[in-house]
Amino acid sequence: MLKPDHFVLSARIVLVVGALVAATLMLGPFQGLEQVFGLSDKTAHAVAFGGLTALAFLACPRMRRADLALAALLLGGGVEVAQLFGGRSASLLDWLADGFGIGAVYAVSLVEGLRKMAREQGDMPLHEIARMDRRNHRQRAEGGIPRPTVGQDVAQATFAARAARKFPAKLRS
């Protein structure tokens, strides 16, 4: 039976192969190969890094998209620096083209996130949706662990005390 994990595994394999192919083409003696496909150098960079970013989004569903996009952008900068040592020329415009491809894929993923939010929580105000977000680390007064006030014991403010309140010990018989 086909499951979403199968897509994730497939995307991880294709991501590794694609990254190796892209690194070989960008660092090897293949300058001008993109013209065989009718692409300019900048278009090839945008397509390559946009595609790798899309694969990374699918291959790493538990990671934040912003972190993956930033990693792809840093990888693009690393490729440009590595080209200096491989007898090729580094270009800031190539890196900007990488960023354009990454940004285009990131923007599409944000639109898809908004579409999902509209389907699932279309009638709720945005502040209610934000309050329900599990990734929000700030404690809420409605349901979170109350923060200690200045007059409370310092021992109550320790991690162990907060954990003991949240996860009480089971009774042993």
Residue 60 phi, psi dihedral angles, 5° rounding? -125, 70
Determine if the pTM surpasses 0.75.
Answer: no
Task: Pick from 51-55, 78-82, 120-124 the range whose average pLDDT is largest.
Answer: 51-55
- Domain ranges for the chain, please list them: 4-127
Q: Which helix (H) or strand (E) holds 11?
A: helix 4-27
The alpha carbon of 130 is separated from its chain's Cα centroid by a whole number of angstroms, namely 19
Look at residue 165 and tell me whether its pLDDT is greater than 90. no
Q: DSSP letter at 90?
A: -
Q: What is the pLDDT of residues 48-68, one digit of tens each?
A: 999 999 999 999 999 999 999
Q: How high is the pLDDT of residue 149?
A: 57
Residue 46 to residue 38: CA distance in whole angstroms: 14
Q: How far apart are the first and last CA of the chain?
A: 45
The alpha carbon of 141 is separated from its chain's Cα centroid by a whole number of angstroms, namely 30
